[in-house]
Homo-oligomer: A and B are copies of this chain.
Amino acid sequence: MNDKIDSLCRVKSGLYGKDFLLTWEKSESDLRIIFDVAAILKEMRRKNISPRLFDSGLAISNFRDNSTRTRFSFASASNLLGLAVQDLDEEKSQIAHGETVRETANMISFMSDFIGIRDDMFLGEGNKYMLEVGTALDEGFQKGVLPVRPGIVNLQCDKDHPTQAMADLMHLQNEFGSLEDLRGKKIVMSWAYSPSYGKPLSVPQGIISLFSRFGMDIELAYPEGYGLIPEIVEMAKKNAQQSGGSLNISHSMADAMKDADIVYPKSWAPFHIMQQRTELLKNADKDGLKELEKVCLANNAKYKEWEYDEAKMKVTRKGNALYMHCLPADISDVSCSRGEVSAAAFEHYRIKTYQEAGFKPYIIAAMMLTNRFENPGEVLMDVLKRNRKRVG
């Protein structure tokens, strides 16, 4: 651990004082710092070393959508560093009554160190909202309203799901040895059938935009008409070119799986449907939403064979590609009659998906730590030296 921290000390971080909204706004070097910090924090936790760096302070969680695992990951990361979580529950609060974002952002931040935001319901809205909050916090800090500029962590927006994509990549690091070992590996990011509709695009978008930066060969597979936000796909293509990897789009799950090292079958709603849905939601058009849902589910139903099962698994590399999912998966005969993955295929990698999820708290904690401390290596060295026990 000493060595890891030592080498971290020699890298200059560009993360200090910056919000973490989109992975593509961060340099590769900065992303690597986050992986290193996360790995060190994980090892410290196992060795009963407490990396508590805040004696007091609040971490605000602002979830505009349901969530269990991300909520708990955020709470875990905050707690690990010594922060208390305070929920901004918009039902309980007065926000719905005409308060402006910029006012609320300041009102909740007098003693806050971080705000974690999840806002993935409306296309064109989530990232915009986070930027608005950030601008409000900048103003509040500059004008002496806030003693500290709280950092923002994107816990899922309409464009990206950086804590998920980063945790997923850390999982691959762990499974394959290092980021370098991922070069030339084939990952299939595939649409999968689900009996529900309206699932956000941020996971596949987060995956292709991040993984394409590390020389991987990405196959993005979906039924025609189920495309992602075009600009993000374009960006991922360019990333792949630059990193020596590739991005290929195809339209058959079964074909795509051939020789895959890694598979990520996951449902999402088509981009153009999400656009329509956003309009309908904005207008509170209930009939329109019902109609759209009906059409979409009927459309989805045409692609029931987009289920990842043992037959598809068989054609992957050695019949045994690493299966990934952000969870919860729609598992056929378990959580639904027919879903994204068969129970048998899921079971092969069930535990691995839990491990995959287990990196998220550390990724979030690393985002917080690097936001607040200019030299994360030095800070972690101090933590190691002071050797405070977490328990006992």
Contacts and interface: CB of A to CB of B under 8 A. Distances in A.
Contacts of A98: 328, 330, 334-336
A81 B58 CA distance: 12
A58 B76 contact: yes
A98 B76 CA distance: 24
B328 A99 contact: yes
A103 B328 contact: yes
B108 A68 contact: yes
Contacts of A358: 110, 145-146
Contacts of A7: none
For this complex, into which size category does the number of interface residues on chain A fall? 35 or more
A251 B86 CA distance: 43
A98 B195 CA distance: 12
A323 B201 CA distance: 45
A343 to B, nearest CB: 11
Interface in A46-65: 46, 50, 52-58
B145 A351 contact: yes
A379 to B, nearest CB: 7
A72 interface: yes
A294 interface: no
A388 interface: yes
A144 interface: yes
Interface string A305-346: 000000000000000000000011010001110000000000
Give the top 8 A-B pairs by smallest Cβ distance, nearest first: A98-B335, A76-B111, A68-B93, A50-B55, A145-B354, A69-B107, A99-B328, A106-B354
Nearest to A334: B100
Q: Is the interface of A mostly helix, strand, loop or mixed?
A: mixed
Q: Which of A55, A81, A88, A143 has the most CB of B within 10 A?
A: A55
B54 A354 contact: no
Contacts of A52: 55-56
Contacts of A348: none
Contacts of A283: none
Interface string A112-133: 1100000000000000000000
A73 B84 CA distance: 14
Contacts of A58: 72, 75-76, 79
A357 interface: yes
A166 to B, nearest CB: 15
A97 B113 CA distance: 33
A354 B53 contact: no
